[in-house]
């Protein structure tokens, strides 16, 4: 008894553990955090629950499964099979959902989002393989002949191509989808308060416990990219997906112009407009992710007009003004998210 | 017209520190948008290395002449510039009116003489580092360059020209590291640092780095890059230097040390720099760490990682629950953040692109005769300390520019 008491006295941690295990704290949800590496980036998950119902290994295996389906960097992935195939492939569930959504965004955006952009991305040196020189205009014209989502179609679980040279790149949407898969998984385990972030794409639901605060999310502005000083805005959310597309980090200079990794599927050339980044809030992350590139291509005016006529989406845009200075703007609904100090 | 006005205004804005006004007195922007005919003096490893880069910049340069005293080097260089005129005597090349600029990539002991002759011949000059063999030559070259305001003299400290190193400078300046107190640099290799010699009579010409008559040894050939970078980032120079070393492994008749360590004190900045190089261990290879109260930057030639200190990290994590961004910050497994995730080109590509721009706009280079002199002073101080067992102090006459 004396020994027990002395351990008790010097080890508050033991006390807490004992208290938790005894069932006294069972009704009190606490914060659980998971961090890891996947899809060439990191993920971070916060959820509130009385016990640990989701572990890192489960997340890793879910993401690995998605990679097997949609990663261009994984040899033997379904997407690589499709790209190498003459007529098409039998899809798995992940693939089918992402393709369906991609075609939906393709139509709604008038072709500004287009997964068949892969050969262009590759030609401009932003693909999975290195290139030695930049494409000539005639090469781009040649590639454009097999770019366009009208050259692919779905029949049941089969994705067909009308031209064997058609190749797809799901990088502009698969990460948002992955975030939704993780969110759905958390919900299936009875978690109602969480934040899932993967590669800067986010989905949240509910509140932080026990204080019931909304999740505070930073929107990274162009800059060095690793300090809170660089956050343009902090917003608060209790539901939905939040993603950002931008051309301020991935680009290189060719002669005197900037070649961005965002290629306009309608011209074959990299986007050249005033946009620096587009942050999108939508009901889920796949929608936000699909549309962030669309707004990058549309530019400020058209994007704001588009959102006015499409419910369930809010946007925050950073752009360059004619005088070279950087400015930002947002849809009316987005301002409501901005954290009030 | 607009451009001239812009340059003039820029010059006023940046002040008279770098001879800007002299440059502009009769600024003749004759090279605007034009290819520059360039001559290569010295076609060894470095000279031909730069020729490879020039061949990537064919809209900026045309290699009009190549010069070397060794035939096999000329033959080698000819492959890279089949149309260039060959010179055995650099004076002849300098006499040519069609040569606008020269690259000087010769043994260190010849830098001053060739640099001087090229400036006197009216050429723009890209002079390899280290700028000069010794302190008096550096002082003289500064004076000469100041009297030639319409000619560009750029010193080949190319690393500071890469986007990565620019970014690191920006980070140091904007407080990411807090107060920097320590700098650790190494440039190690496991090898004798010799080049193959086709004929024994050419030993001293080819392996000039081994001989004190021609070379400043490891401090001049390797450590000068990092020394120059620290000078540039912190706008400073070492005020007190102690160095030691020896011929500790390759006892092969060489005179320059194969193992050196220099401790540099930067008094006004409150910093200590440790610069070392050995030819008998390659584990660390190129190591460059800048250590401050808020974080460390660890640099390789083409990669850099920022490691926040624990307290800095706490501040970062407490701000928000998540961050959305176009390309999000990715933490390394060892707790660092890559500074640039994009691949960068070789530093010489940026340095030579900028050399053209400087000639075009008549603006002084970032790596100029003053910064080159500061580094040359430091290297010579290290060598004086190494061979004389002295502690070397910065002298007032070294305050140039």
What pLDDT score was predicted for residue A195? 97
Model confidence at B166, pLDDT cuts 50, 70, 90, reads confident
Residue pLDDT, tens place only, B290-339: 999 999 999 987 888 888 888 877 666 556 788 787 655 555 666 677 78
Mean pLDDT of B18-30: 49
Average pLDDT of the residues in B215-240 = 97
- Looking at residue B32, its pLDDT comes to 80
Q: What does the pLDDT look like over A206-233, one tens digit per residue?
A: 999 988 999 999 887 665 444 434 556 7
Flag whether residue B315 sits within 8 Å of chain A, measured between CB atoms: yes
Nearest in space to B297 (alpha carbons), one of B158, B161, B190, B174: B174
Contacts of A189 (CB under 8 A, 6+ apart): A53, A54
Q: Is B13 on the interface with A (CB under 8 A)?
A: no
Q: Which residue in chain B has the smallest CA separation from A196? A: B322
pLDDT at A254 over 80: no
Position A20 scores a pLDDT of 43
* Residues of chain B found within 8 Å of residue A244, distances taken between Cβ atoms: 324-326
For the segment A158-166, the average pLDDT, to the nearest whole number, is: 96
Tell me if chain A has a CB within 8 Å of the CB of B318.
no
Assess whether pLDDT exceeds 90 at residue B197.
yes
CB B326 within 8 A of CB A246: yes
Looking at the predicted structure, is the pLDDT value of residue A237 above 70? yes
Min mean pLDDT across A213-222, B251-260, B352-361, B369-378 is at A213-222
Nearest chain A alpha carbon to B57? A255
Lowest mean pLDDT among A30-44, A46-60, A192-206: A30-44
pLDDT of residue A202: 97
**For chain B, how many residues are written?**
401
pLDDT band at B283 (very low <50, low <70, confident <90, very high): very high
Instruction: Dig out the tokens for A323 from the structure.
Output: 């005088």
Per-residue pLDDT, B311:
80
Beta partners for residue B262, in sequence order: B243, B275
Question: What is the pLDDT, as a whole number, of residue A253?
Answer: 53
Asked if the model's pLDDT at residue B26 lies above 60, the reply is no
Looking at residue A19, its pLDDT comes to 43
Q: Do A200 and B326 touch (CB under 8 A)?
A: yes
For the segment B107-124, the average pLDDT, to the nearest whole number, is 98
The phi-psi region of residue B42 (left if phi > 0; otherwise alpha if psi is between -120 and 50; otherwise beta) is left
> Which has more pLDDT, B401 or B190?
B190
**Contact: A249, B171; criterion CB under 8 Å:** no
Higher pLDDT, B176 or B314: B176
Query: A45, A176, A208, A227: which to substitute to probe chain B, counting the most B Cβ within 10 Å?
Result: A227
DSSP bridge pairs for B299: B288, B304
Tell which wins on pLDDT, A20 or A222. Answer: A222
Residue bearing the bigger pLDDT, A338 or B378:
B378
Nearest C-alpha neighbor of B318 from the set A208, A224, A203: A208
Distance CA B281, CA B299 (A): 19
Across A89-98, B161-170, B185-194, least confident range: B161-170
Whole-number Cα distances in Å, B69 to A180, B52, B73, B77, B170: 68, 20, 8, 12, 43
Whether the full predicted model's pTM is greater than 0.80, yes or no, is no
Mutual orientation of helices B135-146 and B111-120 as an angle, nearest 10°? 10
User: Chain B contact for A216, CB < 8 A?
Assistant: yes
Domains and CATH numbers, chain A: 214-341 (3.10.520.10)
Q: Which residue has the higher pLDDT, A189 or B28?
A: A189
Which range among A72-76, A113-117, B13-17, B154-158 shows the weakest confidence by mean pLDDT? B13-17
- Residue A299 structure tokens: 């530019």
A4 in helix, strand or coil?
Answer: helix
Q: What is the pLDDT of residue B209?
A: 97
Q: What is the pLDDT of residue B318?
A: 57
Distances (CA, A) of B48 to B42, B101, B348: 8, 16, 12
- With 80 as the cut, is the pLDDT of residue B377 above it? yes
Tell me the residues of chain B between 237 and 296 that have a Cβ less than 8 Å away from chain A: none
A20-34, A147-161, A259-273: which range is least confident on average? A20-34
Rounded mean pLDDT, A299-326:
90
Residue B24: predicted pLDDT: 44
> What's the confidence (pLDDT) of residue B319?
67
Domains of chain B: 2-158+349-366 (3.40.50.720), 161-344+379-398 (3.30.360.10)
Mean pLDDT of A239-256: 71
Q: What is the mean pLDDT of chain A?
A: 85
Residue-wise pLDDT tens digits, B331-360: 566 667 778 756 678 899 999 999 999 999
Pure H helices in B15-134: 20-25, 45-56, 71-80, 90-95, 111-120
Cα dihedral A102/A107/A108/A110 (nearest 10)? 120
pLDDT-based confidence at residue A321 (cuts at 50, 70, 90): confident
User: Which two three-digit tokens encode residue B162?
Assistant: 């890469």
Is A44 an 8 Å CB contact of chain B? yes
Residue B25 has pLDDT above 90, yes or no: no
Q: How confident is the model at residue A257 (pLDDT cuts 50, 70, 90)?
A: low
Please check whether residue B298 is in contact with residue B207, taking contact to mean a CB–CB distance below 8 angstroms: no
């Amino acid at each position: 008894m004396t020994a027990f008491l002395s351990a008790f006295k010097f080890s508050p941690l033991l006390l807490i553990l004992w208290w938790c295990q005894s069932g006294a704290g069972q009704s009190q949800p606490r914060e659980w955090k998971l961090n890891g590496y996947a899809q060439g980036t990191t993920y971070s998950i916060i959820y509130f629950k009385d016990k640990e119902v989701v572990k890192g290994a489960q997340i890793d295996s879910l993401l690995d499964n998605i990679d097997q389906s949609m990663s261009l960097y994984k040899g033997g992935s379904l997407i690589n099979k499709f790209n190498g195939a003459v007529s098409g492939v039998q899809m798995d569930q992940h693939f089918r959902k992402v393709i369906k959504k991609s075609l939906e965004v393709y139509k709604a955006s008038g072709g500004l989002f287009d997964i068949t952009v892969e050969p262009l991305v590759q030609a401009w040196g932003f693909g999975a393989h290195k290139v030695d020189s930049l494409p000539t205009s005639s090469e781009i014209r040649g590639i454009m002949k097999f770019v366009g989502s009208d050259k692919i179609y779905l029949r049941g679980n089969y994705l067909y191509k009308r031209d064997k040279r058609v190749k797809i790149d799901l990088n502009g949407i698969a990460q948002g989808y992955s975030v939704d898969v993780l969110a759905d998984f958390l919900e299936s385990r009875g978690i109602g308060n969480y934040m899932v972030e993967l590669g800067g794409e986010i989905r949240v639901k509910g509140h932080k416990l026990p204080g019931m605060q909304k999740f505070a999310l930073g929107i990274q502005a162009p800059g060095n990219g690793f300090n809170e000083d660089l956050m343009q805005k902090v917003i608060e959310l209790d539901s939905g997906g939040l993603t950002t597309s931008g051309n301020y980090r991935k680009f290189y200079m060719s002669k005197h112009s900037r070649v961005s990794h965002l290629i306009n599927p309608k011209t074959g050339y990299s986007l050249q407009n005033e946009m620096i980044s587009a942050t999108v809030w939508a009901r889920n992350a796949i929608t936000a992710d699909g549309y962030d590139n669309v707004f990058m291509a549309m530019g400020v005016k058209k994007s704001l007009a588009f959102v006015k006529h499409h419910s369930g989406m809010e946007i925050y845009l950073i752009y360059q003004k004619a005088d070279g200075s950087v400015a930002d703007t947002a849809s009316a609904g987005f301002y409501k998210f901005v954290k009030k100090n | 017209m607009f451009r001239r006005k812009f340059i003039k205004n820029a010059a006023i804005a940046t002040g008279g520190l770098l001879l800007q006004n002299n440059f502009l007195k009769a600024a003749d922007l004759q090279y605007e948008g034009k290819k520059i005919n360039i001559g290569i003096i010295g076609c060894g490893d470095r000279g031909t290395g730069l020729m490879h880069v020039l061949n990537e910049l064919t809209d900026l340069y045309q290699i009009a002449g190549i010069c070397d005293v060794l035939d096999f080097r000329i033959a080698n260089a000819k492959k890279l510039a089949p149309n260039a005129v060959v010179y055995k005597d650099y004076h002849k090349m300098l006499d040519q009116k069609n040569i606008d600029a020269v690259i000087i990539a010769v043994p260190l002991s010849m830098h001053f003489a060739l640099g001087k002759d090229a400036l006197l011949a009216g050429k723009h000059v890209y002079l390899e580092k280290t700028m000069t063999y010794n302190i008096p030559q550096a002082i003289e070259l500064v004076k000469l360059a100041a009297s030639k305001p319409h000619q560009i003299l750029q010193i080949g400290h190319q690393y500071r020209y890469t986007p990565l190193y620019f970014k690191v400078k920006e980070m140091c300046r904007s407080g990411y590291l807090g107060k920097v107190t320590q700098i650790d640099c190494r440039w190690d290799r496991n090898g004798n640092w010799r080049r193959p010699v086709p004929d024994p009579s050419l030993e001293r010409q080819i392996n000039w780095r081994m001989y004190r008559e021609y070379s400043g040894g490891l401090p001049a050939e390797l450590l000068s890059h990092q020394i120059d970078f620290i000078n540039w980032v912190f706008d400073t120079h070492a005020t007190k230097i102690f160095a030691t070393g020896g011929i500790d492994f390759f006892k092969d008749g060489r005179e320059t040390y194969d193992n050196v360590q220099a401790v540099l004190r930067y008094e006004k900045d409150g910093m200590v720099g440790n610069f070392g190089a050995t030819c008998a261990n390659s584990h660390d290879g190129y190591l460059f760490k800048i250590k401050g109260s808020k974080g460390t930057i660890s640099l390789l030639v083409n990669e850099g990682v920022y490691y926040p200190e624990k307290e800095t990290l706490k501040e970062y994590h407490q701000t928000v629950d998540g961050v959305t961004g176009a390309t999000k910050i990715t933490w390394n497994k060892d707790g660092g953040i890559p500074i640039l995730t994009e691949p960068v080109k070789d530093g010489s590509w940026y340095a030579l692109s900028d050399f053209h721009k400087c000639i075009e706009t008549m603006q002084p280079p970032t790596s100029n005769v003053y910064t080159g002199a500061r580094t040359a002073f430091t290297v010579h101080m290290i060598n004086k300390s190494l061979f004389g067992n002295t502690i070397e102090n910065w002298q007032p006459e070294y305050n140039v520019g």
